[in-house]
Copies of this chain bind each other. A is one copy, B any other.
Amino acid sequence: MEKNKQVLLASRPNGWVQTSDFKIIESQIPEPDEGEFVVKNNWLSLDPYMRGRMVDGKSYAKPVEIGEVMAGGTVGKVIKSKNPEFTEGQYVVGRLGWQSFSKSNGEGVSKIDPTLVPIQNYLGVCGMPGATAWIGLLEICQPKPGETVLVSAATGAVGSVVAQLAKISGCRVVGIAGGPDKCNYAKEEIGYDACVDYKANKLLENLKLACPDGVDCSFENVGGEIMDTVMHVLNPFSRIALCGLISGYNETEPYGMKMIRSILINRIKMQGFIVTDRSDLYQKALRNLVHWVSIGKIKYRETITEGIENAPSAFIGMLKGKNLGKQLVKIQ
């Protein structure tokens, strides 16, 4: 009989996440109670924010408890329902966790149209990462045509959408990525005007060359030394959308940011944001992104790992920057 494969949090990581921080079990496929439905999950999204859910520190969301199913976004099909809003055969996106079957009362679950774009897009370019890019760039940075937009983690699920929205907005777009392969992909496929390899030497010199007019909008996914270096090329009245600090997620000591002075002397606005705070804009962003993707104006790439049991190693690979584009797990 078919079982529900689940990935649980086994221990809280200290420093780099290990596969031993997870435990894979098989359990009964859940049965819906009144008002509930059961989803067979086809796709799981892997995202940097999940690293924050594994630890117990203060953050914007409560942590996953030891022994709980890891939190994560999924796309799947309703297979059994006692909820009139969600009928059998319907495709849905929701935060249903690292598991092959989930039970839900519908909270935080949305129906999706599988005919517009491939269903897994609702986890990436037309989902939370896409909306993050849209809100961070268009709402917080508010770039004007002709301005220079700099994107760290340039080829990631968020960064690659930021870049394409910035091009649509008439900007010069410069990426920061790790290694020549990612930089070539950034320029040749995503459409960056230039891309700086932070693993090569001379990040500051190369940023200055790539941004001859300085930087007006910085979409920051990385933090740490890279962000500190970017501070040197920011223009007066520039804006920083602080979306993530992935370089620090596996560090036990926080990096000390030296260039705070740049925020003062350049009158910079730096704003941290979380996409789920902007539910007022979320649906608008998604409709917009589905449109751009369906007409081929926004392109995307996926790194697909097969099998929910391989989610832990895929997640660790993503934290180390091994994926290109959106990291997905194909569950079934």
Contact = CB atoms under 8 A, between A and B. Distances in A.
Interface string A235-262: 0100000111100100000111111110
**Copy number of this protein in the oligomer?**
2
A270 interface: yes
Contact of A272 (B58, B227, B268): B268
Given A255-B256, A255-B258, A256-B258, A244 B264 contact: yes
B267 A248 contact: no
Interface residues of A, number: 33
Given A261-B245, A261-B248, A263-B242, A236 B60 contact: yes
A80 interface: no
A223 interface: yes
A270 B270 contact: yes
A201 interface: no
Nearest to A260: B257
A266 interface: yes
A271 B272 contact: no
A242 B263 CA distance: 8
A264 B271 CA distance: 8
Contacts of A245: 260-261, 264
A321 to B, nearest CB: 19
A269 interface: yes
Contact of A271 (B59, B223, B242, B267): B267
Contacts of A264: 242-245, 272
A256 B269 CA distance: 19
A267 B257 contact: no
Nearest to A244: B264
A150 to B, nearest CB: 17
A45 to B, nearest CB: 20
A34 interface: no
Interface string A262-283: 0111111111111001000000
Given A245-B260, A260-B245, A270-B271, A59 B254 contact: no
A272 B264 CA distance: 4
Interface string A47-77: 0000010000011100000000000000000
Given A255-B260, A267-B271, 4 more contacts: A223-B261, A245-B260, A254-B258, A255-B256
14 contacts: A60-B266, A223-B260, A223-B261, A243-B264, A245-B260, A254-B259, A254-B260, A254-B261, A256-B257, A257-B257, A267-B272, A267-B277, A269-B269, A269-B272
